[in-house]
Amino acid sequence: MSKIKPKVLAVLVTMQVLFFNTQVFADGVAVGDSKIAKGTEALIKDATTWLMILAPIVGGLLIIYFFIRRSGADEQDQKRWNNRIVTAIISVIGAVLGSAIINLIVGYYQ
């Protein structure tokens, strides 16, 4: 059995209570209908939307910077800059796809 850090476990339990638990508060409001759950869903949706907008912009600026630095580098350093360019492209694609998937999943809870 793998060791789970206490903080990670606390976050997982909190998410389970907020999103998947159907127990009712004392005033008759379900946990999923609480302000905390709705606010958390809205926060995640807004954050992932902003990530889908900002990731390509920041990634594009970094790639331009890497191309400029590569143009002034010698052969050995050009390989490093090429690796950084490829890494930046893959990171942007990963960030956009990841945030889109999270946004899609959160959209089903509304």
Report CA-CA distances (Å) from 81 to 61, 85, 93.
14, 6, 18
Instruction: Please tell me the predicted confidence (pLDDT) of residue 31.
Output: 61
* Single pTM value for the model: 0.65
| Domain segments of the chain as ranges | 1-31, 34-107
Whole-angstrom CA distances from 6 to 3, 14, 19, 40, 110 are 9, 12, 20, 21, 30
Q: What pLDDT is stored for residue 1 in this prediction?
A: 44
- Give me the pLDDT at residue 59, please: 95
User: Residue 5: what residue type?
Assistant: K
pLDDT of res. 6: 78
Give me the residue label for tokens 């050995």: 76
Low-confidence ranges of the chain (pLDDT < 50): 1
Per-residue pLDDT at 35:
79
Instruction: State the pLDDT at residue 36.
Output: 79
CA distances, 70 to each of 58, 59, 86 (Å): 18, 16, 13
